[in-house]
Amino acid sequence: MTNRLFPTLLMLAAVIAGGTIGYVGIEGWSVWDAFYMTVTTVATVGYREVHPLTRAGQAFTLALILVGVSAALYAFSVLAAMVVEGGWPKYVEQWRRVRMINTLSNHYVICGYGRIGSIVAAEFTRQKTPFVIVDRDPVRVLEANQRGHLAVEGDASREDTLKVLGIDRARGLVAAVGTDAENVYAVLTARVMKGNLFIIARAEGEESISKLKKAGADRVISPYRIGALQIAQTALRPAVVDFVEIATSSENLELSIEEIRVEKGSPIAERPLAEIVRRDTMNVVIVGIQHAEGRMEFNPTRDTVLHAGDHLIALGSSSMLKELERAAR
């Protein structure tokens, strides 16, 4: 129903504009007099004629009555149907969501709100990371909105949908829709629209991992494989698994592990770790460094020099990690 609102209002505006232009051209009236005459005619009020009409003006008025009154009645029926069927509140809510999406920047787009997508959304919420959800199932979209998330109904593999979601301003995309085929299309579309977008995709089968990577995914996650490895690691090294869970949990305020990028022009760039990480000033542990060229260095020495584009894997308190993050900007 809301899809008919704008065309209907546009049609009504065209009739009023045409009537105004017609009276100005035929009768030589001022724009205001012509507009007033058109509105009273279309609205069937008909107080009086603004000026005496010529025969051509009378014929034009008859035509305007037939076309204008029909357009006005149709517009009124559309608006009435929206109010009766509850479409107007739905339209207002949709308009509000679009405005909220337009304010998003450096956010994530979550494609699909199933078992995986809902968990990702909950974790992003705990981490205070901005995101928007898109799903083709209106029931899931309603469920996401009821949980306080920003969600819209749409097809994640369509360019117009991703454009509405602000893909050009997004930080990354999580492809977690129903099937691997849908994920491949969503990843491919997003990669074409934004070449430097960070894309994470879920894979149901092992054979789909290579396809998703070829489509443009930076990371491909297999939930079944991850779950199986987690079970095995818990059985073999439960203390290690417990430590990692504590360090990566957003609810733990005493210890966290974060990934921090060294930006160009940062005061810590081109300096060794020994000058940056000191117990008396910044008590954190640098577990590893992913260098700009992609090489991962574990347990770096204190003589290691940081460069712009490096990613630090740091362990420490939340306050210390925030301080290091500010220094890396």
pLDDT classification of 119: cutoffs 50, 70, 90: very high
Q: What's the pLDDT score for residue 197?
A: 92
Question: So what's the pLDDT on residue 1?
Answer: 46
Query: Is the pLDDT confidence value at 109 over 90?
Result: yes
* Percent of the residues in the chain that have a pLDDT greater than 70, as a whole number: 90
Alpha helices in 165-264 (DSSP H): 180-193, 207-215, 223-236, 238-248
User: What does CATH list as the number for 2-85?
Assistant: 1.10.287.70
Whether the pLDDT of residue 208 is over 90: the answer is no
Strongest mean pLDDT among 87-91, 216-220, 316-320: 216-220
Average pLDDT over residues 216-230: 87
Given a cut of 80, is residue 253 above it in pLDDT?
Answer: no
* Most confident segment among 102-116, 227-241, 293-307: 102-116
Q: Which part of the chain is CATH 3.40.50.720? A: 104-226
**Most confident option among 85-89, 113-117, 275-279:** 113-117
Check the CA dihedral 167-170-174-176 and report its sign.
negative
The class of domain 104-226 in CATH terms is alpha beta
| pLDDT for residue 120 | 92
Give the pLDDT band (50/70/90) at residue 254.
low
Q: Name the nearest CA neighbour of 313 among 271, 277, 278, 265.
A: 277
> Which residue ranges does the chain devote to CATH 1.10.287.70?
2-85
Residue 90 has pLDDT above 80, yes or no: no
Q: Between 251 and 144, where is the model more confident?
A: 144
Q: List C-alpha distances in Å: 208 to 44, 200, 231.
A: 64, 13, 23
pLDDT at 228 over 50: yes
Q: In a 3-state reduction of DSSP, which class is residue 220?
A: strand
pLDDT score, position 210:
87
Angle, CA of 28, 29 and 35, to the nearest 5°: 130
Which residue in this structure is represented by tokens 């603004």? Answer: 50
Pairwise pLDDT comparison (281 vs 34), residue with the higher score: 34
Cα-only R_g, the chain: 30
CATH superfamily of 251-328: Regulator of K+ conductance, C-terminal domain (3.30.70.1450)
* For residues 200-219, average pLDDT: 88
- Could you tell me where in the chain the CATH 3.30.70.1450 domains are found? 251-328
Mean pLDDT of the residues in the chain: 84
| Rounded Cα distance, 83 and 88, in Å | 5
Q: What are the pLDDT digits (tens) for 136-189?
A: 998 999 899 889 899 988 899 999 999 989 999 999 999 999 888 999 999 999
